[in-house]
Amino acid sequence: MKYSLLFPKTLKKAPSGAESINQQLLVRAGFIHQEMAGVYTYLPLGWRVLDKISDIVREEMDKIGGQEMLMPVLHPKANWAKTGRLKSFDVLYKLEDVVLGPSHEEIIYPLLSEYVKSYKDLPLCLYQIQMKFRNEPRAKAGLLRGREFLMKDLYSFHVSDEDRDAYYEKVRAVYIKIFKKIGLDVLKTKAGGGTFSDLSEEFQVMTPSGEDTIFVCEKCSSVINKELVQDKKCLECGGGLQEKRAIEVGNIFPLKRSYAEVFNLYFTDKNGEKKIVSAGCYGLGISRCMGAIVEVFHDGQGIIWPESVAPFQIHLVGLDLEDKKVMDEAEKIYKLLQVEDPERSRRTEGIEVLYDDRSDVSAGVKFADADLIGIPFRVVVSKKTQDKLEVKKRSEKETKFVSLKELIKMIELSD
RNA sequence: CGGGGACUAGUUCAUCGGUAGAACGCCCGCUUUGGGAGCGGGAAGCACAGGGUUCAAUUCCCUGGUCCCCGACCA
């Protein structure tokens, strides 16, 4: 992608009102644009990041037998009346005859009750990645608490609670793997289950800017959400608890039996007996992860994307482009990088490169923009670089002069 | 949903009871290119909306809206 064509350009200042780090940097760097409180447009750069995160999530969901599909945003109001959540789910957006989906039990249970009849139809693991709608009384902190947000929700259905619990363990392990892949260290946290279940487990990213309060046991280091804390004592070992701030990026629930009862989700087992289906639901906030990553990975100049989720791998900066030789060299490198390694294909054949081809701005502007946008590798081509490339990792200070081959090797190794 | 703050050019802000100004950005020209360059010129505004006070309101007062912050809430 040529920077001169990229929509939109960076901003020197964040709009007033953008106070959280993730909002300031994502808005200034041109990843998102706020439309209302808690509602954002994902601009080309931001959408690429969401797409990267989604792809990682998909890959792992598929590995544990998940099948991706897409359920509707508009839900029949009657279904929500049936479960009682038309009233109890207090952040539900209600329209005249429909509600906007904040979660999809009210869709997937009736759906499955039409198809699942036998133990042979189970287990079944279905997921989607979709915008969710929740009328938060106070949307805040950029992408961390929106009223419209991108989420992956997986639902699993089983012949027994034991089978469900075994799968639940699997999902828990995969979640930790996913968060690690996208650069986030998470803590598993015990929490309440709201309208879904009695208890649940959350995945929390510890950071001072987090908007959740969690408690970490000084003795056994288990972690508990504040809603479960009484007397500031650990539930596991009775040890003292330390209060910390964190961002909840995932939440998994063994679902209440009542959903299956309400929507008549039963099956016939081997012995011809009618049995109730056991289920779990597993949420992961894709857009919130994007915000959390920025909260964790940034410095005074801008964002520092982990390589796995960066919108591009290389930010190629062309300087002295009025010099035809330099310009030709930069263009050549730009093209070579993109076709050099077809194994890395995603949107383009080869490495994803953002090429700053502008000839009407100073070097300083280009460097400042590169730092702000936060692509992992900055590669400069200029009069100085001759037949080498000047490479600097966004996360490091030193620059190195390397050949094109060495650069490609660097990128492959760091993957 | 309680408490607080804000709303003026595309953006960040200044102004102030007497009909609006800078910087950045944008457009044109020249100059310039290793950390947000320089000079000159230009375009750019129903001052959130409605009501009041006043000879006169962007400015003071009231109501509403929107956004932000603190709390409550948060599957």
Kindly report the bases of strand B lying within 7 A of a protein C-beta atom.
1-2, 5-6, 11-13, 24-26, 32-37, 66-75
Q: Please choose, from the candidates A325, A301, A323, the residue with its C-alpha nearest in 3D space to the C-alpha of residue A315.
A: A301
pTM of the complete model beyond 0.90: yes
Q: Assign residue A141 a region: left if phi > 0, alpha if psi is -120 to 50, beta otherwise?
A: left
**DSSP calls for A371-382:** HHHT-SEEEEES
CATH topology (fold) of A6-298: BirA Bifunctional Protein; domain 2 (3.30.930)
Residues forming beta bridges with residue A100, ordered by sequence position: A74, A93
Q: Cβ neighbours of residue A65 under 8 Å, at least 6 residues apart? A: A123, A125
Give the Cβ contact number of residue A62 at 10 Å: 13
Separation of CA A18 and C1' B56 in angstroms?
A: 38
Q: Which two tokens stand for residue A285?
A: 């906030």
Closest residue by Cα to the C1' atom of nucleotide B75?
A: A194
Q: Please choose, from the candidates A207, A243, A210, the residue with its C-alpha nearest in 3D space to the C-alpha of residue A225.
A: A243
Strands A187-192 and A148-158: unpaired
CA distance A303 to A29: 8
Asked whether the domain spanning A314-413 has the same topology as the one spanning A6-298, the reply is no
CA distance A94 to A74: 10
Closest residue by Cα to the C1' atom of nucleotide B67?
A: A17
The nucleotide closest to A368 (CA, C1' atoms): B36
CA distance A353 to A1: 6
DSSP helix/strand/coil, A71: coil
The nucleotide closest to A89 (CA, C1' atoms): B75
Q: What are the sequence ranges of the domains in chain A?
A: 6-298, 314-413
pLDDT in tens, chain A (415 residues): 999 999 999 999 888 877 899 999 999 999 999 999 999 999 999 999 999 999 999 999 999 999 999 999 999 999 999 999 998 898 999 988 899 999 999 999 999 999 999 999 999 999 999 999 999 989 889 999 999 999 999 999 999 999 999 999 999 999 999 999 999 999 998 888 777 777 889 999 999 888 888 888 888 878 888 777 777 777 778 788 888 899 999 999 998 899 999 999 999 999 999 999 999 999 999 999 999 999 999 999 999 999 999 999 999 999 999 888 999 999 999 988 886 554 544 444 578 999 999 988 999 999 999 999 999 999 999 988 888 999 999 999 999 999 998 898 888 877 6
Separation of CA A348 and C1' B27 in angstroms?
A: 35
Surface-to-core class of residue A274, CB atoms within 10 Å of its CB (0-12 exposed, 13-18 middle, 19+ buried): exposed
Closest residue by Cα to the C1' atom of nucleotide B36?
A: A365
The CATH number of domain A314-413 is 3.40.50.800: yes
The nucleotide closest to A195 (CA, C1' atoms): B75
